[in-house]
Structure 1
Amino acid sequence: MFARKHPDTESIHFGWREAVAYARTALFFLTRKRPKLSLTALSRMSAMDVRTLPPIRRFTASDGETLAYRTYHGPEERQIVMIHGSACFGDQLHKLARHIAEESAATVHTIDMRGHGHNARGSAPAESYARDVGEFCAHLKQHPARPQVILAGHSAGGGLVLNAAYGPYVRNIDGMLLLAPYLGIASGSLRPYFGGWLVGIAWLKLAATAALNLIGVTRFNDRPLVAFDREACLHDPRFVREWSFDTLLGFGPGMTRPASAEMLDFRIPMLLISGDRDECFRPDRYKSVMDRIAPWASIQLFPGLGHWDILADNGVATFCVNWLERQFAIEQRVQRGKTKDAKIA
């Protein structure tokens, strides 16, 4: 168990620009029929062999809350922090994490974010999600091996990865791996109701909560507002059934705006991977969005794969290993570290 005090950060901002984006998304959803998510979408995840799961460990955040995580041991010089998607949990990342570690590409940590997986259920302040990730990365940077830290996220976890990069957290991040990521409510890459993964949205409550946030009232942000496909979730009690406004904001990258000046200066390696049959997002829209966020990022689409397939596909895992070895070779780490230190100074 470890704790790390992170530098002070601003709370997540919710202003008129964000409110308009939510209103447009509501109109987009309401004018389209909600698709039914095929239960086969999660079939490869359900068939995953979890008998080799590493033991649960605990990370203590600066506010005293603890988060469950698992560690897949590989080279200490490269460390990956993997974040799950909406309503999900870290164990879904097991096959990909294990493959990367067994191929000696990196040590991998899969985290259950607050209110998910092995952590107590319920909402948490929106800013706590990115802060937890930043503190975890800062701790890893203290390792004597001076590791490169790569932040990876699937679906809404990809949004959280980008959220963590909009501020001082990027100082502890050497690269990003986005797995079928959620790129923001206004990105234009969403399918209606996220392909059926969302089955219920309390539109009036959502509008009222957003309006209150515009005047600085956040006391209702912890109330459930969206519900996920219960039929898909019932086969595993670790799925979360509902999300609050705080969780929606915490896992989202904010508006699809250019990244912070720090992130642009660093131009850290970024890879976006998606299946071309993604149920939740529009893979064909990823390039136009990434051109605004991080135009240097690499994008790889895998034919025939859906939203959750990429977490259990051997081809995707091998591609990730090769990318890690190309971008984060040990001999390159010292030079990249010197460049980053100079820019921070």
Structure 2
Amino acid sequence: MSSLFETVLQIVRNTPLWVWPLMALVVWLGVLGLRTRTLPLWRLAVLPAVGLVLSFVGLGQAVQPALAGVAWLAALAVALPLGGLLGRRRPVRRLEDGRLEIAGGWFMLVFGIGIFAARYALGVVFGMAPALRAEPAWIAVAGGVGGFVAGLGLGWLGGVGGRSSRWIRRLRWAPAIFLLTVAAGLGGVIAFNSPGELPRLLAGDSLPGMSTWNMAELPPVQRVMARDGAPLAYRVYPARPDRAVVLVHGSSSASISMHKTAQALQAAGATVYSISLRGHGGSGTAIGDTSYRTQLDDDLMDFLKATGLTDPKIQRTLIGFSSGGGFVLRAASGANRQAFDAYLAISPYIAQDAPTTRPDSGGWASVAVPRVIALTVLDGFGLPWFQGLPVVRFATASGPSENRTPAYSFRLAAALQLSRDWRREIARIDRPTIVAVGANDELFRAEQYAPLLNELNPRISVEVVPGLGHLDMIARERACTAIAALWRRLSGESGT
């Protein structure tokens, strides 16, 4: 009994303060509805409006908005006629001044408490078991509860006021009007919202010491074909044939940016395949775009097959930097995670809402958030339309070229990242994995990686390299030496 009391007390303590005034308002309005009263028409709509707004809030918070939206519409369709039936049973008379004299009843009180109880119960469940937020069944339940509450309130309002007000009778068209409004809003956002221009950010755009490189040491670009016939460009730094590293560059760049890291890994004994992802560095058919959201995953498998890296005698490690580091985590948690023996993510981008991410990635990226949301909603309904439109622009002064990709389409940006359920994806990484970051990273919060990853997946090791910034991690000798040492640790080599 004491443990139950402690649980309840903990739930109450963790309840946001704004919940209690809302509950008081809802109960007060419900109690007023117990007696016959005279009131203007708009007063009848207060509680139904509260239920409708809270249901919209729930849709916006859903991990899969499309699934929640389908459940919302289905429950709304069921609840509207039920609410209308209950509303028509309430005696109401229209007065000469336009107000309504409405008989008392229990509906408003029960409905108001029901709104609060439903939202509060879902909040408690998801607070105690956050993983349920990503479960399709629970997403549908939450969306359905919101739709039922909204439909019941709107239906009741239509039933009560429909006999005395033309606009109330028109509430039967509310779902259609809502859908048309949403469609128009999505269309407008997709058409007119775009990522803004940013001033050049030196910390994300200019590799330290690149002007002193001996370009004669840079291996020539080679190409293999992906399953769609498009070229995949890469450079090879040969060493031990049984130790292979596939090296992935960061956002807006290409394989050339990873030259110093590749040389350090080569010196440590790895044969390095420094690749340019599709949409970068001559890979694919269009700069800054792919053909579909998961194409980079398929390209990676095609690359391994085309270069003979599927040989079981070869020990394979996937290493990536920045957005490429995020792609490494995506691969390490994905369906093809067994393709590599180990993973190393350098200063990885995890997610927009991760504690490691600074606002706008420290000024490096401008994201068209409304367009991203609209395209995500369409994609959730199985409509991959307009995904070639740009949604991310980087703070580089360079235009599109073989070595620079200043903007990403929706599907390319999505292909590089973990999903909205990134916490659970990181938690299921089961291969040896290390995350390394410079202590002075300008784009990400280096101090947040260890607490976050220790919480989500203690198997992932975090290494913070003191005194280094973001681009330092792939260009400075000390950083490249540290990366090579971490690779040797993952590979089980001696001398680490």
Q: TM-score range by the shorter chain?
A: 0.7 to 0.9
Distance 1:85 1:129 in 2: 14
Q: Deviations over 1:201-232 (max 9, x none)?
A: 3343233222222322211111112211132x
Distance 2:278 2:461 in 1: 30
Q: Does 1:60 align with 2:225?
A: yes
Does the Cα contact within 8 Å between 2:288 and 2:405 map onto a contact in 1? no
Structure 2 counterparts to residues 185-334 of structure 1, below 5 A: 185-198=352-365, 200-231=366-397, 233=398, 238-254=403-419, 255-259=421-425, 264=429, 267-329=430-492
Does the Cα contact within 8 Å between 1:45 and 1:92 map onto a contact in 2? no
The residue identity in structure 2 corresponding to 1:246 is R
Distance 1:142 1:237 in 2: 28
SS at match of 2:443: coil
Change over 3 Å in CA distance of 1:236–1:57 after alignment to 2: closer
Identity %: 28
Tell me, which stretches of 5 or more residues in structure 1 are unaligned?
1-14, 22-33, 332-345
The residue identity in structure 2 corresponding to 1:211 is V
Distance 1:123 1:154 in 2: 19
Match of 2:63 in 1: 17
Match of 1:4 in 2: none
Tell me, which stretches of 5 or more residues in structure 2 are unaligned?
1-60, 67-132, 134-196
The residue identity in structure 2 corresponding to 1:130 is D
Does the Cα contact within 8 Å between 2:244 and 2:272 map onto a contact in 1? yes
The CA deviation at 1:236 is 7.3
Match of 2:310 in 1: 142
Does the Cα contact within 8 Å between 1:35 and 1:192 map onto a contact in 2? no
SS at match of 2:318: strand
Change over 3 Å in CA distance of 1:118–1:314 after alignment to 2: same
SS at match of 1:152: strand
Q: 1:131 aligns with which of 286, 290, 298?
A: 298
Q: 1:116 aligns with which of 280, 294, 297?
A: 280
Match of 1:156 in 2: 323
Q: Does 1:181 align with 2:345?
A: no
Does the Cα contact within 8 Å between 1:227 and 1:241 map onto a contact in 2? yes
Does the Cα contact within 8 Å between 2:332 and 2:431 map onto a contact in 1? no
Does the Cα contact within 8 Å between 1:257 and 1:292 map onto a contact in 2? no
Distance 1:90 1:131 in 2: 19
Of Structure 1 and Structure 2, the greater helix share is in: 2
Does the Cα contact within 8 Å between 2:199 and 2:396 map onto a contact in 1? no
The CA deviation at 1:43 is 4.2
Cα RMSD (Å) of the superposition? 2.8
The residue identity in structure 1 corresponding to 2:295 is S
Distance 2:443 2:239 in 1: 32
The residue identity in structure 2 corresponding to 1:142 is T
SS at match of 2:235: strand
Does the Cα contact within 8 Å between 1:272 and 1:298 map onto a contact in 2? yes
SS at match of 2:384: coil
The residue identity in structure 2 corresponding to 1:225 is V
Distance 1:226 1:235 in 2: 14
Distance 2:391 2:279 in 1: 15
The CA deviation at 1:330 is 6.8
Distance 1:192 1:184 in 2: 11
The CA deviation at 1:288 is 2.7
Residues matched between the structures, number: 298
Does the Cα contact within 8 Å between 1:134 and 1:164 map onto a contact in 2? no
Does the Cα contact within 8 Å between 2:207 and 2:475 map onto a contact in 1? no
Q: Does 1:84 align with 2:249?
A: yes
Does the Cα contact within 8 Å between 2:317 and 2:342 map onto a contact in 1? yes
SS at match of 2:239: coil
Distance 1:38 1:243 in 2: 17
Match of 2:236 in 1: 71
TM-score scaled by length of structure 2 = 0.55
Q: Look at both structures and tell me which one has the larger radius of gyration over its CA atoms.
A: 2
Change over 3 Å in CA distance of 1:268–1:36 after alignment to 2: same
Match of 1:172 in 2: 339
Structure showing greater relative contact order (alpha-carbon pairs closer than 8 Å, 6 or more residues apart): 1
Change over 3 Å in CA distance of 1:132–1:236 after alignment to 2: closer
